[in-house]
Amino acid sequence: YEEIKPIVLINPKIKKFSDEKSVIEEGCLSIPDIREDVERPEAITVTYQDTDLKKHTLEIDSLLARVIQHEYDHLQGILFTDLVSDETKKRIKKPLSKIKRRRIDVEYPISDSVDYQLVF
């Protein structure tokens, strides 16, 4: 991935969401082995500062818009599992409980600071 440069968004704020939405399967390293369909706006407008603290505004669509929304949700204390249907939440309750109790093997460390709330 040497040709890929990271995108740094300091103090991001999503200012606008498109009316057009799409449903795509999402997963997260914070929640190993769980992947579910999540509906999100197809495009966003985000303001942020760069590493020189210069302010910018970007209009973003497609996969990058989804990734930024997913990561922005983390900053707001939202996990993708909070955005799925009630039926899906019931279906993934047991696997989430296993993750919370650290009864799952992954090839990376699971942070003790993540608190999985099982709200139904």
Contacts of 38 by beta carbon, 8 Å cutoff, 6+ apart: 23, 24, 25, 26, 80, 83, 84
Tally of CB atoms within 10 A around 84: 19
Q: Does residue 17 contact residue 58 with C-beta atoms inside 8 Å?
A: no
Active site residue 25: no
Pick the catalytic residue: 2, 20, 71, 107? Answer: 71
Which positions are catalytic? 71
